[in-house]
Amino acid sequence: MVALTGCNGQPQTSAAPTGSPTPSSPAPTATATSSPQAGGLPRLQGKATVVITVKGSPITMELDGTSAPITAGNFVDLVNRKVYDGLVFHRVVREPQPFVVQGGDPQSKNPNVPLDRLGTGGFIDPATQQPRDVPLEITPQKANEPIYSRTFAEAGIDVPPKLRHTRGAVAMARSQAPDSASSQFYITLADLPFLDGNYAVFGYVTQGMETVDKIQQGDRIESAKVTQGLENLKTSSTASPSPSPTGSPSPSPTTSP
């Protein structure tokens, strides 16, 4: 991934995606698990609102299933399964300039796992015991459909995406493999245009950025709830979603991308 700090939980040294300027901070990362099965993934049709609580303060996110149906659907499904409750923001980059806060590694629910080991975990579906990988999904401006599994540079696209990395964007972390996102996500602390077309934005913080600005490494998500639009979540097994057991962290390589 463009290395924000990787899934590996360590500061990334990997280069930014081809065709992008190299960021002064490594881009958001998560370690790849297995090949994605996009056909069976949850999808969001329309909008949804999620509220996460950190240190007693709410952060409201509006998610866009029109421009990012699989990416937003995955996040809403994981929120609904309570996967994010109790997880840690294991990566916070504010120096030399504001960059991102990153969390969502299921391993972080265990308080005995040190911060420097976080960043490699992903969601394992309890029904199948298989890791869930989410394909890279980005919709170009003026396009009706997203492109999948390729960055804009790889696809030869020279227009911006519909969902851009402006301050407060919510996007999926991944490894260098395009289809390796799972449960780890990041929130941008500033406009980060060099990530556009390389990582999948699926929503924006609409309230509570002052709380995001105060997040420190090790802060936990006390709760995450879908407050609106849950009826827009469509899964492969049911027409309307119901809460499911929390998934387990997926085993990951010990090396960083």
- DSSP letter string, 122-135: -EEETTTTEE--B-
Q: Does the residue 1 lie in any domain?
A: no
Report the range of poorest mean pLDDT among 35-49, 121-135, 238-252: 238-252
Report residue 11: phi and psi, to 5°.
Answer: -55, 130
Bridge partners (DSSP) listed for residue 185: 103, 172
**Per-residue confidence at 29, pLDDT binned at 50, 70, 90?**
low
111 Cβ partners below 8 Å, 6+ apart? none
Residue 244, domain member (yes or no): no
> Using alpha carbons only, how large is the chain's radius of gyration in Å?
16
Number of domains in the chain: 1
- Taking residues 70-77, report their average pLDDT: 98
In a domain, 228, yes or no: yes
What does the pLDDT read at residue 218?
Answer: 96
CA atoms of 164 and 191, how far apart (whole Å): 9
Q: Is residue 8 part of a domain?
A: no
Is 124 within a domain? Answer: yes
What is the CATH number for 200?
2.40.100.10
Residue 139, pLDDT score? 98
Residue 227 located in a structural domain: yes
pLDDT of 202 reads 99
CA-CA-CA-CA torsion sign (233, 161, 190, 101) = positive
- The 10s digit of each residue's pLDDT in 159-210 is 999 999 999 999 999 999 999 999 999 999 999 999 999 999 999 999 999 9
Whole-number Å distance between alpha carbons of 163 and 151: 14
Label residue 40 by pLDDT band (50, 70, 90). Answer: confident
The answer to whether the peptide bond before residue 26 is cis (omega within 30 degrees of 0) is no
Residue 176 lies in a domain: yes
134 or 251: which leads in pLDDT: 134
Contact in structure between 103 and 184 (CB atoms under 8 Å): yes
Q: Which domain holds residue 212?
A: 46-238
The answer to whether residue 18 scores a pLDDT higher than 80 is: no
Residue 154: per-residue pLDDT = 96
Q: Express each pLDDT in 202-235 by its tens digit.
A: 999 999 999 999 999 999 999 999 999 999 999 9
pTM (predicted TM-score)? 0.82
